[in-house]
Amino acid sequence: MTDTSVTTLEARARTRTVFLLAHTGRPAAIRSAELVVQGLLRAGIGVRVLAFEAADLPLPRSVETVPEATPEVLDGCELLIVLGGDGTLLRGAEFARASGVPMLGVNLGRVGFLAEAERDDLDRVVDRVVTREYEVEERMTIDVAVRRNGDIVHRDWALNEAAVQKVSPERMLEVVLEVDGRPVSGFGCDGIVCATPTGSTAYAFSAGGPVVWPEVEALLMVPISAHALFAKPLVTSPSSVLAVEVQPDTPHGVLWCDGRRAVELPAAARVEVRRGEVPVRLARLHHASFTDRLVAKFALPVSGWRGAPHGDT
């Protein structure tokens, strides 16, 4: 390779930019951010961070800072690296969805199903980013609309779930569930979780819902502490429209989207959930099956497994 070719490759590398989002309240995130930044800069890849996060990170001057947390701050970035727990990863998902930039999550929390790597994998993360050895997959989202007297009064979205919950601890939320314009059942409960397959291992899982593999396209509706004989989790077509109607004589409730954004639901409010028009793009470093990820994240007991008999597929 000639000197000219080397110079050209270096120039191209310097045009690459990665956005870094970190939970700077965690000492582990600060150290991890420092290691990631150093590795990317050594490879000639630019790094961009939010100014208020940069103030808490020991970063060199060559790191670009931007003042506002808007989707436009990712313009020109090829990847969004997020360091933190589930809350930080969901915050990163908001940036990823709005900008279309793939998100690569590094788990610094407890479970971190959205994360692609753990804290001990930082060197490998940097190497894969530098060599572009990662793939991008799209995760289904949901669009949420709140209606009152037929009019839409609020719109939102979620990667994991939209949860309709009671506010008053002493009284249940009286609701009627609907799928594709037809009523299913009505009862009192603590709430209803409408989730994506990605969200099946989050709030829906805690409420007793099924684990759904990410490649399965479906919508979930999971009651929380329902007082009813029939209040089972429902799994519907991805093209279905789910609705939760809050009864007029019940106390007001609240809608939480991904546990991050909340809006009050007055009595007689109607929450409609359907497949989202805009997915979230996730960067993947390896081809580990979701089954292996499930076993690892929940430390499931698999000792004694001998595998399929020889000759079986």
- pLDDT tens per residue, range 161-211: 999 999 988 889 999 999 999 999 999 999 999 999 999 999 999 999 999
**H/E element holding 13?**
helix 3-14
Classify domain 142-275 by CATH architecture: Sandwich (2.60)
Q: How many CA atoms lie within 13 A of 167 on its CB side?
A: 14
Cα separation of 121 and 142, whole Å?
31
> What type of residue sits at position 128?
R
pLDDT digits (tens, 9 = 90+) for 47-62: 999 998 888 888 888 9
Location of structure tokens 């970190």: 22
Instruction: Confirm if 40 and 64 have CB atoms less than 8 A apart.
Output: no
Residue 113 labeled ligand binder? no
Instruction: Confirm if 139 and 195 have CB atoms less than 8 A apart.
Output: no
Tell me the torsion sign for CA atoms 201, 207, 211, 214: negative
Residue 225 labeled ligand binder? no
Instruction: Confirm if 283 and 117 have CB atoms less than 8 A apart.
Output: no
- Superfamily for domain range 17-139: Probable inorganic polyphosphate/atp-NAD kinase; domain 1 (3.40.50.10330)
Residue 134 labeled ligand binder? no
State the chain's mean pLDDT as an integer: 90
Q: C-alpha angle with apex 207: 89 to 107, nearest 5 degrees?
A: 20
Which pLDDT does position 15 carry in this prediction? 83
199's tokens? 């969200």
Location of structure tokens 């310097």: 14
Average pLDDT over residues 280-300: 90
Round the CA-based radius of gyration of the chain to a whole number and report it: 22
Determine the distance from the C-alpha atom of residue 217 to the mean position of all C-alpha atoms in its chain, rounded to a whole number: 16
pLDDT digits (tens, 9 = 90+) for 249-282: 888 899 999 999 999 998 899 999 999 999 999 9
- CATH 3.40.50.10330 domain span(s) along the chain: 17-139
Nearest CA-CA partner of 259 in 189, 162, 172, 190: 162
Residue 171 labeled ligand binder? yes
**Which residues are marked as active site?**
86
> What type of residue sits at position 92?
G
Nearest CA-CA partner of 176 in 220, 231, 215: 231
CB atoms within 10 A of CB 24: 20
- CATH 2.60.200.30 domain span(s) along the chain: 142-275
Which pLDDT does position 113 carry in this prediction? 87
Instruction: Judge if pTM exceeds 0.85.
Output: yes
pLDDT reading at 125 higher than 50: yes
